[in-house]
Each structure stands twice: as C-alpha cells, then as structure tokens.
Amino acid sequence: SLGFGPALADYYWLQAVQAVGGDVRMTPELGEYLGRVIDVVTTLDPWVDHPYRFAAIWLTESEENVRTANRLLERGIEYHPDEWRNYFYLGFNHFFYLLENEAAADILATASTKPGAPRYLPRLVARLRSESAELDVASVFLNELLRSSEDEAAIAGYRAALDEIE
C-alpha cells in the first residue's frame, strides 16, 4: 500500500458495500468474497470500526462464514476493546448461528461491562446461562450485579431475572 493503507482500505470497503448493494441474494460464495474483502480492509486499517460489524451482519450464510465474521470481530475487539457492539455481535453469532450458549454468555457478560452497553445485557447473559443448565452461575452473576448496581430500574430487572431462575 506504500504508506496509503487507509486510502486503499477505503477502496476495498467500497467494493464490499457495492457487493451487497441493491437486490442481491446472499450466498455462501458471496459471503466468502466479503470475508476476504473485509479482511483486507481491516488488515490495511485495523482501526476502522464499522466494517467489523458489517461482516457480522452479512457473513451468516454458512458456518464457515460465521466463523470468519467472528475472527473479524475478534480483531475489532483487539483494536476497539471498549466497543460493546463488537462483543454483542460476536456473542449473538455464537448464540444464534453456532448454538454455543456458554461462549455467547461469556462474551455478552464482557459486553455488559463496556461503556454504553444496554442495561438488558446482564439479564440476557443470565438467560443464556440458565438455558445451558448453569442456573447456579446465572444466579451468582445476577446477585453480583444486584450488589454492585445503583440503578433502580436495573435492580428491578435483576430481581425479576432471579425470580425467573428460581
């Protein structure tokens, strides 16, 4: 890139956006192409933000594509460790596409500690842990959140989740 990594990354970013623009049917092959292009974008300019989540949204047609999206999201987390949305999409992929509830719960638990994370994430984590037969872990997690929270609305939500577990 001869020192023009970000500019070249922008060129490839436009290629990715154009590939899914219009009336396009997503296929595993298109997902593979997008995975390669987004990998180039984030290699040339790893501090970009949106392409990581773009990959998470579009790379869903096959398990291989979801795993590619997850690798890209992990890179995004490396460069943007306080961006809760990257953790959220990674956790969602593990839960929804890969059926890996424990991994999803762990990732979403981390997301819930990041600035700007929505208040419902801890409750979602508790639900995921309870569905994978980790009721004790979910209970401990919620009790810890109860002890550390000062937000009355969040406390009410945590109590409701505890009641649900019991």
pLDDT single digits (tens) 5-14: 899 999 999 9
Mean model confidence pLDDT for the chain:
88
Which positions ≥6 away from 155 have C-beta within 8 Å?
146, 149
Structure tokens at 80: 């943007």
Structural Rg of the chain based on CA atoms: 18
- How big is the CA angle at 145 (ends 101 and 129), to the nearest 5 degrees? 15
Amino acid sitting at position 52: Y
pLDDT tens-digit profile of 82-114?
Answer: 999 999 999 999 988 998 988 999 999 999 999
Contact 122, 158 (CB under 8 A): yes
Instruction: Provide the pLDDT confidence category of residue 24 given band limits of 50, 70 and 90.
Output: confident
What's the pTM? 0.79
Report pLDDT digits (tens) over 34-48: 999 999 999 999 999
Q: Report how far Cα 77 is from the mean position of its chain's Cα atoms.
A: 9
3-state secondary structure of 18: helix
